[in-house]
Structure 1
């Protein structure tokens, strides 16, 4: 198996496990270079590089660019050129430039793509929860199910399972989502854990009357949850007039996708507004 094949296999294992990384691919080379077009490397969040994209001058540039890509979530093309040919941060065609001290004086172009898996935690085993699990499969989320022990055995196909609703060990972040669809079985425990999870999207499938009751009880127990309640999507789902578990699941997933896809656009609009002010 070639180094590039091993790198692709590693990337697939990391993706399946929900781990974040960058994939660097050599696109073009000029003059004498150790790497060749098609060579690949995986760059881990700690800066480790697995694979082959060239010597020290190139790997240093790839590491710096990859860590920046993981931070921004955006891919980039970089060009590593001899020091005396680098006169600025970007080349004439807009490609980001990096300096090489290598005596071979080769130039390398590398495409760096961040892979940051989004996770969706589904709390509960209600009909809506099961419908969400059916519909989410093509969307690329790494799905984790949190439910009572007697329910987990009848929920196949998830990437991970949690007995109960303790979500802290998942270390969820802004790209992740939690949907509480317990519908009467563990509502309070699931909602409390979801609000404390750190996920960028937290929603609950419920009626407004149930939400009011849960909010009152939980805020009596933990007043510090007030900001999390303010950001809670409940009743969860876009208003499409949904009826039945399948349509409710569709409305919930549409809201989660909209939250993630439009967040960047909202942030950009805010920045532009502040800049123009």
Structure 2
């Protein structure tokens, strides 16, 4: 688990939380499961529960939601008026074919990489983003010129210049906060990588001028259209710290979309 966390790789942790009658695994048994359903480590018993748990692990990693699986013999399911695949009060039922007739309840928890905030630039807004982002649960990557690197000593990852890796195992939110120092180069780098969100800290007029330059350099309109400018929600922000707060508020809306019933936030573009 420590190795997977260091690598930024997602996995599911399955824990046996209750057993009734005869079962191979007992409460407390654990297994680490990869997104493709491969059991990487640990043990939760034999084939009686394995298929249902591996399926639940794949689904949990796909939608980020935990599952409680109750694997029971068919006669016990019938007594409760449920069938394999049914879900009631947060419990999903599965059928056990084992002759021992035991019952096993397994909690399956997805462990996903922390979202990553990628800040390009060393402006006051960039510094404020680097300070606030980790406190809101983001791992931090900072891309800045060599002379600006000491400002970001506490970042999880520091990159000299703007050469971002194309792919990332975690959800990545990129903010260009160069504010006049390398805007075009930073935007090209930000738009060239996979990201959930790409935002530009600057006025709408400046963003439009940069968009024209990007088109002149051969960047397609679809790619340029990924850029959100100006960055952030309209909070009336003035100071760098307030602007950073507005940018992160917008990212949180995007990150949490669909996770809670928040109709007012859902209206925010």
Q: Which of the five TM-score ranges fits, normalised by the shorter chain?
A: 0.7 to 0.9
1:45 aligns to 2:41 (yes or no): no
Of 42-51 and 24-33, deviating more is 42-51
Residue 217 of structure 1: how far off its partner (Å): 0.7
Contact in 1 for aligned 2:68/2:90 (Cα 8 Å)? no
Residue 173 of structure 2 corresponds to: 177
Q: 2:190 aligns with which of 194, 201, 211?
A: 194
Structure 1 residues 165-215: Cα deviation after superposition (integer angstroms, max 9, x where no partner)? 222443367x42111111222211221222232211111111223211110
CA RMSD of aligned residues (A): 2.7
Residue 255 of structure 2 corresponds to: 260
Q: What SS does structure 2 have at the residue aligned with 1:99? A: strand
Structure 2 vs 1, CA of residues 111 and 203 (structure 1 numbering), >3 Å: closer, same or farther?
A: same
Residue 54 of structure 1 corresponds to: 45
Residue 146 of structure 1 corresponds to: 143
Q: CA–CA distance in 2 between the matches of 1:13 and 1:250?
A: 33
Residue 99 of structure 2 corresponds to: 103
Residue 222 of structure 1: how far off its partner (Å): 2.6
Q: CA–CA distance in 2 between the matches of 1:80 and 1:88?
A: 9
Contact in 1 for aligned 2:84/2:95 (Cα 8 Å)? no
Residue 19 of structure 1 corresponds to: 9
Residue 68 of structure 1 corresponds to: 59
Contact in 1 for aligned 2:9/2:169 (Cα 8 Å)? no
Residue 241 of structure 1 corresponds to: 236
Residue 251 of structure 1: how far off its partner (Å): 1.0
Q: 2:162 aligns with which of 143, 160, 165?
A: 165
Residue 83 of structure 1: how far off its partner (Å): 4.7
Residue 20 of structure 2 corresponds to: 30
Structure 1 residues 31-60: Cα deviation after superposition (integer angstroms, max 9, x where no partner)? 112222233222122433222322233233
Q: CA–CA distance in 2 between the matches of 1:206 and 1:62?
A: 48
Q: CA–CA distance in 2 between the matches of 1:47 and 1:195?
A: 33
Q: CA–CA distance in 2 between the matches of 1:259 and 1:178?
A: 13
**Higher helix residue share:** 1
Structure 1 unaligned residues grouped into runs of 5+: 1-9, 269-277
Q: What SS does structure 1 have at the residue aligned with 2:59? A: helix
Residue 76 of structure 1: how far off its partner (Å): 1.5
Q: How many residues align?
A: 257
Residue 65 of structure 1: how far off its partner (Å): 1.0
Structure 2 vs 1, CA of residues 28 and 17 (structure 1 numbering), >3 Å: closer, same or farther?
A: same
Residue 223 of structure 1: how far off its partner (Å): 4.3
Contact in 2 for aligned 1:128/1:245 (Cα 8 Å)? yes
Residue 82 of structure 1: how far off its partner (Å): 2.6
Contact in 2 for aligned 1:172/1:199 (Cα 8 Å)? no
Structure 1 residues 104-153: Cα deviation after superposition (integer angstroms, max 9, x where no partner)? 22111111121222121111222211111111122222222222233334
Q: CA–CA distance in 2 between the matches of 1:23 and 1:220?
A: 49
Could you state the TM-score of these two structures normalised by the residue count of structure 1? 0.82
Q: What SS does structure 1 have at the residue aligned with 2:93? A: strand
Contact in 2 for aligned 1:18/1:119 (Cα 8 Å)? no
